[in-house]
Amino acid sequence: MTDVHFLIDTHIFILLFNDRLAVSLPQGKFGCSIITEMELRSFPKLTFEEDTFICERLAKLTIYGIDDAIKEKAILLRRTTRLKLPDAIIAATAIIHHAILLTNDKELHAIPELKY
């Protein structure tokens, strides 16, 4: 049986890292968009230790860059929704990689192509 693939968005990571995630993560393979990595690591008051902690956790995941397919899907999502560019890229990444998006962002739940 093939493992289910999940893409984790930024807010889920924040909850997870702060032990505030209300449910356990499902079993499967995990990844995130490079946008999520950038958002997590660019908080102005992030300490060196916190950045190291984040990097160690992310090193265990697949980090997806922005290729042409993701770029084009994100452009289409931006044209047809009110998503901010980072959210459109994260959504496009999940769609292109056939991943279930783990998010609590209600705007993303309105995209019919996304799996949750």
- Identify the CA nearest to 87 among candidates 108, 113, 64: 108
Pick the CATH number of 5-110 from 3.40.50.920, 3.40.50.1010, 3.40.50.300, 3.90.1580.10: 3.40.50.1010
Count of CB atoms situated within 10 Å of the CB of 32:
27
Contact yes or no for 83/77 (Cβ under 8 A)? yes
pLDDT digits (tens, 9 = 90+) for 44-75: 999 999 999 999 999 999 999 999 999 999 99
**What is the identity of the amino acid at 116?**
Y
Q: Where along the chain do its domains lie?
A: 5-110
Count of CB atoms situated within 10 Å of the CB of 55:
12
pTM of the model: 0.91
